[in-house]
Structure 1
Amino acid sequence: MQKELANEKLILANIATGDQQAFGILFNFYRNKVYGYALAILQEETAAEEIVQDVFIKLWVKRQSLPIIENFGGFLRTIARNETLNALKKVALEQKKHQIANQNTTDIDSGTENEIQFRETKKLLETAIEKLPPQQKLIYNLCHIEGLKQKDVAQKLNISPLTVKTHLRDAIKSIKNFLIIHDEIKVVPLLLFFIK
């Protein structure tokens, strides 16, 4: 599977001018990644499809700023994460209102369950990152939290790109092992989106 969109910078520049065909290329390349992430968290196909629409509408609205984005993949992940979290909060709020209206506090709020699961997953992931050796943690955070490219991290830390790649690979392996040990298989789809 192709990991990066060919001529992405050019496509983003064309989208900034209002090129709908270029936007279609971007949409077709990334929509399944956004959908897969949203579905893993929301557990509902229609809601995941709405997240895809919301994310790409937001991209179109902000299209003029796309050419200056250094790491589009990281930027897209951030938007998808925020939109999904907002959807979870909305579902939780609606179901809470419904519960109060029906005076039925025994029903489990699935929206709240999803939000709790998301928080627990995030907390577990943060714990796994904290347990990494200092250099691995630094490189992981620069690449996956701050969204820098591996070559930029190598320059910033004055080390070789191969060293960055090795530390990143080891960090991801350690994080996955930590999650497996803690029986958090439910986070695997989340990792497929956040860790690549």
Structure 2
Amino acid sequence: MILAKIANGDQQAFGSLFNFYRNKVYGYAYAILQVDTSSEEIVQDVFIKLWIKRQTLTNIDNFGGFLRTIVKNETLNALKKIALTHKSHQIANLGATEIDLSTENAIQFRETKKLLDAAIEKLPPQQKLVYNLCNIEGLKQKDVANQLNISPSTVKTHLRDAVKAIKNYLSTHDEVIAAPLLLFFLK
């Protein structure tokens, strides 16, 4: 397995992992930040963290979910830095009314996240549980099936129906602006 090779320091395996995931990481970061250089920095930061913590990679059951969490956290940290920079510029330029696009993106992200959370809350209990275990906790579908004592096909059906319901809910709200972000979360 590639994660085991990376955990043992195999740089070629790490290069393969990087080449496979870098565009996804960049796309997610760019969808939120809308800044090429910041998005490239996110890619670098994410893969540096993976390399530094490579010995723990063999303990990860759902690498996609694990990577999504790291990318989300790095992007949120970048948004916080942008917001702080914006705030310091605002204080320095009292009276300036121009809104920084990065801050606007951060606000849109928060609003979209609230809508996503509201959509998840509206799911039937079993769909909500399966969705949270698979997409938020990062468990594999077979592990969710074992944990809930249901068949893997039932988990797959609940997950499919949950994603469909969430997409339908979001499509009825004009406030949803960060659509690329939602596509990342709804995979």
Which of 38, 43, 51 does residue 47 from structure 1 map onto?
38
In the alignment, structure 1 residue 99 sits paired with structure 2 residue 90: yes
Runs of 4+ that moved beyond 4 A: none
Q: TM-score, normalised by structure 1?
A: 0.91
Aligned to 2:136: 145
Find the aligned partners of 2:91 and 2:179 in 1 and give their Cα distance.
34
| C-alpha displacement of 1:191 | 2.2
Aligned to 2:22: 31
Which of 57, 69, 79 does residue 48 from structure 2 map onto?
57
Correspondences of 1:93-132 after superposition (within 5 Å): 93-132=84-123
- Report % sequence identity: 76
Q: Which amino acid aligns with 1:29?
A: F
Q: TM-score, normalised by structure 2?
A: 0.96
Secondary structure, counterpart of 2:177 in structure 1: helix
| C-alpha displacement of 1:186 | 2.6
Which of 146, 157, 167 does residue 148 from structure 2 map onto?
157
Structure 1 stretches of 5 or more lacking a match?
1-9
| C-alpha displacement of 1:185 | 4.9
| C-alpha displacement of 1:109 | 2.8
* Cα deviation code 1:95-121 (max 9, x no counterpart): 211221222341213232121111111
Larger mean Cα displacement after TM superposition, 169-178 or 112-121: 112-121
In the alignment, structure 1 residue 133 sits paired with structure 2 residue 133: no
Q: Which amino acid aligns with 1:60?
A: W
* Number of equivalenced pairs: 187
Find the aligned partners of 1:102 and 1:184 in 2 and give their Cα distance.
30
* Cα deviation code 1:141-181 (max 9, x no counterpart): 11001111111111111111111101100000000011111
Q: Which amino acid aligns with 2:40?
A: E
Find the aligned partners of 1:102 and 1:189 in 2 and give their Cα distance.
33
Q: Which amino acid aligns with 1:148?
A: L
Larger mean Cα displacement after TM superposition, 11-20 or 168-177: 11-20
The higher-RCO structure (CA 8 Å, 6+ apart) is 2
In the alignment, structure 1 residue 17 sits paired with structure 2 residue 8: yes
Structure 2 stretches of 5 or more lacking a match?
none
Find the aligned partners of 2:58 and 2:130 in 1 and give their Cα distance.
25
